Amino acid sequence: MVSLLQPFTGYVPATEFARRVVGPPVSTLSPDQREAARLDPLSFRHVVGKGAGTSVEEAQEWVRACNEQGVLRPVGPALLVYRLTHETTSVTGLIGEVSIAAYDSGLIKRHETTISRTELKMARYMRKTRVYGNPVALAYRENDIVSKAIAARVSSEADYSFDAADGSKHHMWKIEGDAAANICQQFRDELYITDGHHRLAAASHVAAKEGRLDPHLPAGLFSSGELHLRSFARCVVDPGINTREIIARIREDHVLEPISQLEIRPTERFEFGVELEGETYRLRIAPRLIPDDVYHSLDVNLLQDLILDPLFGITNPRNDPRLRFIADQPGAEEDQIPCQAWFLPYPASVADVMTVADSGLAMPPKSTLFTPKLPSGLVIRELDKT
């Protein structure tokens, strides 16, 4: 069986410019922050800020100019051991390239469906720019050989290091030649998507449309023990909602009690933070309605099956324009998304997510919010280069 991972070939930002080139994942930025980054000519957001409006020529000219000016440094083929430290927390993994053919065959496993409009938007962007700098993140089961190789490499000084504007610290160590090949051979069974369902689906769509045999996409790989899970809130945008009726119908079967804003985050399974027209509640699902199997008893599925579908008529979360997704807690994006109803599920466990993926099942879109998320511009690859 062919390895799912190969060494990365592309560019990394030079240390002295990395603070400007690299930025947080675009999904974590406010509109003002996105615009500020787009206006900096060295920021990777500058070249991708227009999305599919960026031409191939513009994107490739940015890469060429940054390469000539020493802003970007060619690297590879090499695996990169990557360590991200933020405040007191560090995570360490590998950066390489993963096969889109492996994704299509199911060896790179999905655990949730995508949002159609987002997938198509990303596919248009990839076709137009041909430059990619937003690596997907994948999980693998603990592997002693890989762990020992990483530990041995990080015992020496890093090849690339920089401090980002948000205070996070980034370090990378190159692994080349036979040492890299030996690590790649450890990845023959399966990988699990933790961040990048839409990007991989879009890359698959582009590859099929263009008839490319086996393109690759930059990816960060982390062992399951390095991962942390949070949740996306479900935001229902529907001014016609009758809040009193919704509350009454929820209370027919479940417990819904008022709480303070400080208590909005759920603390255990089958519990949800809720906000309805500015009032906050804790929702507890009726035990008699919780199925016995792992998949149907996941909190995101309970929310979809028992609340969003019967009470709001949201039968297809992939395509319903009334349903939006907000990372983890209310407030950050509320100015842009006026929610009439807001629900925050308790996060699934990494083990449950892997079980779902192994079973070939899919949770609703935006069911998981894994960390780490790799920053934009950390590694950059021209998609036409093989």
24-38, 157-171, 173-187, 239-253, range with the lowest pLDDT: 24-38
Gap between the Cα atoms of 147 and 181, Å rounded:
15
Is the pTM of the predicted complex or chain greater than 0.75? yes
Residue carrying the six token digits 């513009």 = 58
Q: Is 126 in contact with 202 (CB distance < 8 Å)?
A: yes
Which residue in 253, 255, 254, 260 sits closest to 275, CA to CA? 260
Q: Is 114 in contact with 197 (CB distance < 8 Å)?
A: yes
Gap between the Cα atoms of 102 and 108, Å rounded:
6
Gap between the Cα atoms of 245 and 315, Å rounded:
19
Asked if omega into 41 is within 30° of 0 (cis), the reply is: no
Quickly state the pLDDT bin for 333 (edges 50, 70, 90): very low
**Per-residue pLDDT tens over the stretch 283-292:** 999 999 999 9
Stretch(es) of the chain classified as CATH 3.90.1530.10 = 5-228+371-382
48-52, 64-68, 236-240, range with the lowest pLDDT: 48-52
- Tokens, residue 46: 């500058």
Candidate CATH numbers 3.90.1530.10, 1.10.760.10, 2.60.120.560, 3.40.50.10540; the one for domain 5-228+371-382: 3.90.1530.10
Highest mean pLDDT among 264-273, 332-341, 360-369: 264-273
Write b or e for each residue in 45-76: b if 16 or more Cβ atoms lie within 10 A of its Cβ, otherwise e: bbbbbeebebeeebbbebbeebeeeebbbebb
Gap between the Cα atoms of 311 and 221, Å rounded:
39
Mean pLDDT computed over 335-342: 77
What's the longest Cα–Cα distance across the chain?
A: 67
Gap between the Cα atoms of 266 and 250, Å rounded:
17
